[in-house]
Amino acid sequence: MQTLKKLFPFYLRLDKDLNIIEYGRSMGKLLHENGSFKDHFKFIRPNFGITHSFASIAEFLDQFFILELFHHPKKVRFKGQFIIHHEHEDELWFCGSPWLMSVEDLQQHDLFVTDFAQHDSAIDTLLMLNQNLLNLQDNSKMIADLKQKNERLQQVNERLDAIVYAITHDFRAPLLASIGLLQLPESMVLEELPEILHTLKRLDRTIIHLNELSKNEKIALKFSTINWEELIRESYHNYSVIYGIKIPIHLSINETTPFHSDTFRIRTIVNNLISNAIKYARPVLEETSFIKISIHTDPSSCIFTIEDNGEGIDEKNLENIFKLFYRASIKSQGNGIGLYIIKEMVQYLKGTVTVKSVKNEGTTFTLKFPNQKLE
């Protein structure tokens, strides 16, 4: 009998009237009192022709049983067999173990591997199922990672194709034009120097933009406190000198708390926005042109808005302005990279950017950034 108890720690020992007179140490974690077998368990299998009586169960001794402990707060089922021990022919023994389908089931019933007999195949099956589940999870994660990398690789390839196209067309044409002008007689070259200088400045700006785009992919985020006024005043001064235009700027900063973000990316975004606002000012409005910048920060975010009354953008072009090398018109002075860089860097900072514009009335960009915490 002691051997039987060791082999089946979830055993039940029933008398002739099916009263529970003893149960195993592990069964004790699920069944907290004796009483009648009928008051605690019901038959799931066999489910036809069997009753809660000694004689009825004895007729099914050669069959596999599934029992359900129905008064337990969490439904528990046991699988096993009934036997009549040769030393106690007026008793029935149920020898089995809980029917578990996952490690979560084990935890749900507050059971441990040590509660089961060493020979119990339920644990081996459980561990195998759990390992298979882990393998499936690993495979799913690997597939998701590969899919993400493939999508990223496709984006990089598309960008590379666009850059190669730009180099072979947008770069080569002005370079050839400049080379042609420089081959003219000296007196004519002097007359064309302003045009040559303008062309070379555009190429230089394009190279700067491509360098900024490359850095956005390679430089890790480094958060620090952003000094908005200093950053904006510096950018405004630089581009006013570059374009030779002095447009009144109105700056409103409402900081209820310091704003923390990546200085390199914030500066690059602001530079491109201010550059565009100055570059696309309307000459006919020289006296009334303006740039308005408003900034509002709170502990969770920062909203940056820049508005101008410049050339504006045609509504049909608005959905494409953030695409790489897209130009809203053939008269555009830009290289089609600046707004793309803004979008890429804003997304890298987990922010958003929206634009409203009316042709010949002006443009408003609204950007929202999360306020990062300094470590």
pLDDT at 110: 82
pLDDT at 230: 94
pLDDT at 329: 54
pLDDT at 324: 76
Please compute the mean of the pLDDT values over residues 287-311 and round it to a whole number.
Answer: 94
In this predicted structure, the answer to whether residue 292 has a pLDDT above a threshold of 70 is: yes
pLDDT at 56: 94
pLDDT at 87: 77
What SS3 class is residue 241?
helix
Question: DSSP H helical segments within the chain, as ranges?
Answer: 2-7, 37-40, 54-58, 103-108, 121-166, 172-182, 186-218, 228-243, 263-279, 338-348
Using one digit for the tens of pLDDT, what is the confidence trace for 229-272?
A: 999 999 999 888 888 888 999 999 999 899 999 998 999 999 99
In contact, 162 and 325? CB cutoff 8 Å: yes
Question: Residue 232: left (phi > 0), alpha (psi -120 to 50), or beta?
Answer: alpha
From CA 286, how far away is CA 289, in angstroms rounded? 6
Q: What angle do CA 367, 232, 332 make, to 5 degrees?
A: 70
What SS3 class is residue 337?
coil
- Burial (CB count <10 Å: 0-12, 13-18, 19+), residue 319: exposed
Using one digit for the tens of pLDDT, what is the confidence trace for 269-286?
A: 999 999 999 988 887 666
Residue in 272, 231, 302, 252 with CA at minimum distance from that of residue 363:
272
Residue 351: pLDDT band by 50, 70, 90 thresholds? very high
- What percent of the chain has pLDDT above 90? 35
pLDDT at 241: 84
Residue 209: pLDDT band by 50, 70, 90 thresholds? low
- Most confident of the following: 91-100, 242-251, 252-261, 334-343: 252-261
Using one digit for the tens of pLDDT, what is the confidence trace for 11-39?
A: 999 999 999 999 998 898 888 788 999 99
From CA 256, how far away is CA 161, in angstroms rounded? 45
pLDDT at 231: 93
Question: Residue 110: left (phi > 0), alpha (psi -120 to 50), or beta?
Answer: left
- Cα R_g (the chain), whole angstroms: 39
Residue in 226, 240, 324 with CA at minimum distance from that of residue 275:
240
pLDDT at 170: 55
In this predicted structure, the answer to whether residue 328 has a pLDDT above a threshold of 70 is: no
Residue 146: pLDDT band by 50, 70, 90 thresholds? confident
Residue in 265, 274, 267, 228 with CA at minimum distance from that of residue 347:
265
What single-letter amino acid sits at 65?
Answer: F
pLDDT at 19: 95
Query: How would you write 245-279 as a 3-class SS string?
Result: CCCCEEEEEEECCCCEEEHHHHHHHHHHHHHHHHH
In this predicted structure, the answer to whether residue 94 has a pLDDT above a threshold of 70 is: yes
Handedness of CA 186, 191, 193, 199 (dihedral sign): negative
- Most confident of the following: 150-154, 187-191, 301-305: 301-305
| Arithmetic mean of pLDDT over the chain | 82
pLDDT at 249: 94
From CA 57, how far away is CA 38, in angstroms rounded? 12
Least confident span in 97-111, 118-132, 286-300, 336-350: 118-132
pLDDT at 120: 59
In this predicted structure, the answer to whether residue 179 has a pLDDT above a threshold of 60 is: yes
Pairing of strands 291-297, 249-255: parallel
How many H-runs (helices) and E-runs (strands) does the chain carry? 10, 14
